[in-house]
Structure 1
Amino acid sequence: MFGSSFKPPQSLAGRIPAAPRPTTSLQKMSHSLPLVFHLLITGIYFTIALTVSILTHIIDGPLLSSWTMMTTIAHSFMKAVLSTHSPQGRHSFDIVRFATGFKLPKFLFDADIKETSITVENSDILSDAVKEALQVKGKLNFEPEMESVRTIEGEWVRDKDSANDNVILYLHGGAHIFMSPHTHRAITTRVSKHTKSAVFVPNYRLAPENPFPSAIEDALACYLALTQPEGVLLSKSRFNQETQVVSNTRVFLMGDSSGGCLCLQLLQVLRELNLPMPAGAILLSPFLDHKMESSSWHTNWNTDFLSLDMKGVKWAVEIYSNGIELGHSAISPIYANLQDFPPILIQSGDSEVVSDDALRFYQLATTAGSQVELQLYRHMFHVFHTFPFLKESEVAFMKISSFVESQKGELESDSGISIENYKDETPSVSNIYLIDGQGKTDIYTKI
């Protein structure tokens, strides 16, 4: 077979490790063929996979007892997409980045979406400060060309009924190499709707062109632009359109998957630089251990759709890490000093491959004295929040609303949704809850 693996552009030649060949015969064959034939083969595979899943659901019942037919279809479709598009596949980057660049029409969402940008001055100074804070200065394989003044694109998402002055800085997921604010509008618009907050989603830099710690530098620049803390000479970051400065006590960090990791990386930097902390952080299915040694990668392989070629995932993580060990606290926050963090809410499916990341982080962070609540959603897969037809997704957004409201000292959400405040649902012996699609909550004890 010829050319089934990703070939880096000339600008990256020699700077990133060579991609391994895809593992399965189907991947090797389809990614070695011209794009049109690859699309034809994957289309046939999708059709077969969906048909088999639907028939199995009808004849033998769902894979997990609580799944509806729509849950089965969503799981099967996503699993087929990821099974045929390993990160190192020759066509994967082109296809996923094309899809990432496609803007879903704004009229599909009941929210005001406006594109904006941030100008970052003294970008080189900010970059050095981040590396010092994370203790990686002088240890990177290579550093992208750095301009003293640069621009970060992004978008504001505001529900038409937004009524408070909270701001959520949303950092999208995508394994550090894919996705954009456009791909996450199904989540960010619902975040704004339920929390009645403005949501800012930056289009931060991605690997392999801009590996670690580029995304962290962008996230910090966005946080500084939002809060404008007094006496901070680190960088002059400002919105190019008029935007009201927000107190750090009204800002929440939020992110899914690798975006959840980015939230914790940013918190580490804020702490080490003695910058004001946000009001809290909300992590959705966070990917926190880049060594990927936890047992859930194996036990939940069939129930999650995040069943990517593991060789490809490890390669993607390696090109992101930029020469830093995967067990370094700057790359994998689960190994970091977890003291002095603001309140954190974690939501994860109990049937996804990174569920152990959430469990281990909870145990380590609470031992370190940080205030963390972990909500595990029964039978749910990776970032189930994406799918609005899932009852678990709706319950999760209600809980997010309650968390945001609770940081203002209020006992109940003002979202208009009748659901008990999460702080009143269980005794204080544990802050790990198992939640189903009806909002029923039990104490999770399997630790």
Structure 2
Amino acid sequence: MPSPQHLLLKQFLTAATGPLARRRPSLNGLRLGLEVGSLFQFLPWGVHLESVRIEGMAAEWIRPQNAPVGRVLLYLHGGGYVLGSLNTHRSFIGELARRCGLQALAIDYRKAPDFPFPAALDDARLAYRWLLTQGYQPHDIIVAGDSAGGGLALALLIALRDNREPLPAAAIGLSPWTDLVLSTATIRRVAHEELQLLEALTIRGWGGHYANAVPLAHPLLSPVQADLHELPPLLLQVSDAEVLCDDVLSFAGKAQLAGVPVTLQTFEGLIHWWHLFWRLVPEARLALDKVAAFTHGIWAAQAEAARILGSTRPPKAAAPRLRARL
């Protein structure tokens, strides 16, 4: 049963989406609204910000106090490939990084329709390669994202694998958008819920903006359509009430059949993007704690593997002693 705080949030958003649906605001209007809303968000206490540019692309280091410098969370924000920015997700990424005890690199990848596929994927790959040039090892990088950013994180893994590039230690998808096709069956399932139906019809259009002339079922647009073998460990979180739930479950099942270690965590009755309301909704804070536990588990598994590998190596031969001159 969702918390009272979540129910209050849902009622507010349902009331707010009615006028929006009737007015059909432009993408620029929606973007402006999100940017204005971000003015009321603040970084968590003890989290520091540093702006950086990666070959002209705006990005930010979001560093919790005492976070180790050798590991990084590469974060790709959501927004249907058409919305969202560093501003809209800064507070959330800061809290996620703080709970995980990791520094995060957030990027402002290019948005559709001005920059359709593969612009966002190219920017994500650019950021990952840039981290490698900065001295980070692939096993010290975790890629994460929410909604479209979660789908983009999964597409990044597939693109890196297909290009025989080193893969990161793991990936995290928070309600990831794994199938841009968004089947009619899914639309019917949520048709009784005004907020979900509006969301489904809206993001179906946004998917078309991003795909442009490329088929929506292309595996780098819809990762659920891809061959998923040899991917690193995945954490997927989704609510059973979300529009994207069926597709996330399908992706998780397919990844498990391909031999990918998948941690699937489902929540009950929560709206899409519930993670972003971590200050208000206790379920969001619980979800972030589960993400932190997953990242800690990745590092612990690496340490254990290194310990076992070290214990099985043959002992080094003793250095020859020099005979002293008499």
98 and 307 in structure 1: CA distance in 2 versus 1, 3 angstrom threshold: same
Q: How does 1:137-152 map to 2 (within 5 A)?
A: 151-152=56-57
What is the CA deviation profile of residues 330-364 of structure 1, one whole-angstrom value per residue up to 9, with x for unaligned ones? 22110001111010000011111111111100111
Of 158, 166, 177, which residue of structure 1 is paired with 2:63?
158
Greater shift, 398-407 or 90-99, is seen at: 90-99
Of 128, 132, 135, which residue of structure 2 is paired with 1:227?
132
Aligned length: 300
Q: How does 1:195-344 map to 2 (within 5 A)?
A: 195-228=100-133, 244-293=134-183, 295-301=185-191, 305-308=195-198, 311-344=201-234
Whole-Å separation in 1 of the counterparts to 2:84 and 2:137? 29
How far 1:95 moved relative to its partner?
A: 2.1
302 and 256 in structure 1: CA distance in 2 versus 1, 3 angstrom threshold: farther
How far 1:409 moved relative to its partner?
A: 2.5
Check if 1:68 corresponds to 2:3.
yes
Helix, strand or coil for the counterpart of 2:292? helix
Whole-Å separation in 2 of the counterparts to 1:408 and 1:180? 29
Whole-Å separation in 2 of the counterparts to 1:308 and 1:190? 29
Whole-Å separation in 2 of the counterparts to 1:383 and 1:106? 16
Whole-Å separation in 1 of the counterparts to 2:292 and 2:152? 21
Residue 295 of structure 2 is matched in structure 1 by: 404
Whole-Å separation in 2 of the counterparts to 1:265 and 1:170? 14
Write 1 or 2 for the structure with the bigger share of helix. 2
Letter in 2 for 1:331: L
Q: Between the two proteins, what is the percent identity of the paired residues?
A: 30
Letter in 1 for 2:218: H
Check if 1:99 corresponds to 2:99.
no
Helix, strand or coil for the counterpart of 2:299? coil
Of 280, 283, 305, which residue of structure 2 is paired with 1:392?
283
TM-score by length of 1: 0.63
172 and 92 in structure 1: CA distance in 2 versus 1, 3 angstrom threshold: same
Of 68, 75, 87, which residue of structure 2 is paired with 1:182?
87
What is the CA deviation profile of residues 70-113 of structure 1, one whole-angstrom value per residue up to 9, with x for unaligned ones? 21221122234444435x96533232221344453785532112
259 and 301 in structure 1: CA distance in 2 versus 1, 3 angstrom threshold: farther
Greater shift, 319-328 or 193-202, is seen at: 319-328
TM-score by length of 2: 0.84
- 8 Å CA contact 1:82–1:307 kept in 2: the answer is no
Whole-Å separation in 2 of the counterparts to 1:211 and 1:328? 14
Whole-Å separation in 1 of the counterparts to 2:240 and 2:200? 20
How far 1:370 moved relative to its partner?
A: 1.2
How far 1:311 moved relative to its partner?
A: 4.8
Whole-Å separation in 1 of the counterparts to 2:202 and 2:273? 20
Helix, strand or coil for the counterpart of 1:259? helix
Whole-Å separation in 1 of the counterparts to 2:94 and 2:9? 20
Whole-Å separation in 1 of the counterparts to 2:8 and 2:146? 22
Letter in 1 for 2:88: T
Letter in 1 for 2:300: G
Residue 445 of structure 1 is matched in structure 2 by: none
91 and 334 in structure 1: CA distance in 2 versus 1, 3 angstrom threshold: same
Whole-Å separation in 2 of the counterparts to 1:293 and 1:336? 17
How far 1:68 moved relative to its partner?
A: 3.5
Letter in 2 for 1:73: L
Whole-Å separation in 2 of the counterparts to 1:300 and 1:113? 39
368 and 95 in structure 1: CA distance in 2 versus 1, 3 angstrom threshold: same
- 8 Å CA contact 1:348–1:383 kept in 2: the answer is no
Check if 1:351 corresponds to 2:241.
yes
Whole-Å separation in 2 of the counterparts to 1:303 and 1:297? 10
Letter in 2 for 1:188: I
How far 1:201 moved relative to its partner?
A: 0.8
- 8 Å CA contact 2:43–2:91 kept in 1: the answer is no
Helix, strand or coil for the counterpart of 1:334? helix
Whole-Å separation in 1 of the counterparts to 2:43 and 2:122? 32
Whole-Å separation in 1 of the counterparts to 2:35 and 2:51? 14
Instruction: Identify the structure with bigger relative contact order (alpha carbons < 8 Å, sequence gap 6+).
Output: 2
What is the CA deviation profile of residues 130-157 of structure 1, one whole-angstrom value per residue up to 9, with x for unaligned ones? xxxxxxxxxxxxxxxxxxxxx1001111
- 8 Å CA contact 1:75–1:304 kept in 2: the answer is no
- 8 Å CA contact 2:68–2:103 kept in 1: the answer is no
How far 1:299 moved relative to its partner?
A: 3.0
How far 1:69 moved relative to its partner?
A: 3.2
CA RMSD in angstroms comes to 2.4
- 8 Å CA contact 2:6–2:270 kept in 1: the answer is no
